[in-house]
């Protein structure tokens, strides 16, 4: 049975769209929505034009995946302080300039969490196996 096609409106619904279905449109919608919510910017203006932004977003999605990119965007909006000269946070600036600062932290935290999840006391041995070793 063929999978249902995802509509353009569904692609823009970044809060509900599963990460495996994200694309450039989804990321742009997220950035534009967060600019509206955080900085009251109604009209999103891309850095160096739409083509540049689409390219950097596509590369970031391919290289890091939607979940990591979503985390980076979320953190970037927490860290960014708008100015009169730069009243919004563009996807192009975020990916080209902020991602290299934030991504190492995200990857390190994921690695620590993965180690913690894989941790098992007594090296994975049961109590009976430990008694047998003694």
Query: Residue 127 has what pLDDT?
Result: 66
Query: Residue 116 has what pLDDT?
Result: 72
Q: Which residue has the tokens 């967060």?
A: 34
CB atoms within 10 A of CB 66: 19
Q: Which of 101, 85, 21 is nearest to 29 (CA)?
A: 21
Q: Is residue 119 scored above 80 in pLDDT? A: no
Structure tokens at 67: 């979940």
Burial class of 62 by CB neighbour count within 10 A (0 to 12, 13 to 18, 19+): exposed
Query: Residue 2 has what pLDDT?
Result: 66
Q: Is residue 91 scored above 90 in pLDDT? A: yes
For the stretch 10-64, pLDDT in tens is 889 999 999 999 999 999 999 999 999 999 999 999 999 899 999 999 999 999 9
C-alpha R_g of the chain? 20
pTM: 0.77
The stretches of 13-98 forming alpha helices (DSSP H) are 24-39, 50-64, 66-79, 91-93
């Amino acid at each position: 049975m063929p999978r249902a096609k995802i509509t353009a409106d569904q692609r823009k619904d970044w809060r509900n769209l599963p990460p495996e279905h994200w694309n450039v449109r989804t990321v742009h919608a997220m950035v534009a929505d967060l600019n509206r919510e955080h900085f009251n910017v109604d009209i999103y203006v891309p850095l160096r034009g739409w083509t540049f932004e689409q390219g950097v977003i596509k590369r970031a999605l391919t290289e890091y995946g939607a979940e990591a990119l979503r985390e980076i965007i979320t953190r970037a909006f927490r860290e960014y302080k708008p100015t009169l000269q730069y009243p919004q946070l563009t996807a192009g600036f975020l990916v080209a300039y902020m991602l290299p600062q934030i991504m190492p932290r995200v990857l390190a935290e994921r690695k620590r969490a993965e180690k913690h999840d894989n941790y098992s006391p007594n090296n994975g041995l049961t109590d009976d196996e430990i008694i047998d070793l003694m």
